[in-house]
Amino acid sequence: MFIHKSHSKKDLNNIIETFKINIDNPKQYKKRELLRLLTKELDVLEEIEPETKYYMFYNIIELKDYLSSCNPKKLLSIKEKTEIILHCKEIQQYIKNGFNIEYSIFENEDELHNLCKYIQPYGDIPSVRKALWKLKKHPINKFNYEPTISKQTQAELDRRNLIKNKYPKHLTLSHGKFLINFD
């Protein structure tokens, strides 16, 4: 088995702890040694306990596929990520100007559509999600681009949303006379 180099030592340690893989004190090893030990353990391991909170893997095959492919959170270099965030700011500027193409940097709507298609696969970046979600509120509903979000990011967003909606914000007004004493 081959583990892709884009997975950081921290990610590997997290996987070892989450799935209870038999490696004692994995934090003491360097990444190269940890990769070797993890590969050996995964070769002899036949099944894992399903994990549905963060990784959402139900069997060993899904875990091996995940580790052998590129880490979904590290698809871009810093330069590429900065460029995508800049494109998101351009889209948000279009939105803030009342969805008016004349007051934006775009020449026409085709250019905007192409840019949306370009940033759509990078939905794990918060700026991309925000730009595409706000663009859906177009008055004519011309733009319907769903950001592509990994399982882990979607699970994290769902947890945050649950916490946010569990205790809704509300204001209570009381009328009448009140007596306040300061000692």
> By the 8 A CB rule, do 82 and 91 touch?
no
Name the residue among 14, 21, 117 with its Cα closest to residue 71.
Answer: 14
Distance CA 119, CA 89 (A): 12
The predicted model scores a pTM of: 0.68
The reported pLDDT for the residue numbered 116 is 93
Element counts in the chain: helices (H) and strands (E): 7, 0
Containing H/E element for 61?
helix 60-68
Q: What is the pLDDT of residues 56-87, one digit of tens each?
A: 788 888 888 888 888 877 778 889 999 999 99
> By the 8 A CB rule, do 3 and 68 touch?
yes
The reported pLDDT for the residue numbered 110 is 92
At position 5, the amino acid (one-letter code) is K
Q: What is the mean pLDDT of residues 143-156?
A: 86
The reported pLDDT for the residue numbered 83 is 95
Domain ranges of the chain: 9-74, 78-166
What's the chain's average pLDDT? 87
Name the residue among 101, 1, 13 with its Cα closest to residue 45.
Answer: 1
pLDDT band at 46 (very low <50, low <70, confident <90, very high): confident
pLDDT band at 30 (very low <50, low <70, confident <90, very high): very high
Cβ-in-10-Å burial (0-12, 13-18, 19+) of 48 comes to: buried
Q: What is the pLDDT of residues 114-133, one digit of tens each?
A: 999 999 999 989 999 999 99
Q: Residues near 16 by Cβ (< 8 Å), separated by ≥ 6?
A: 23, 26, 38
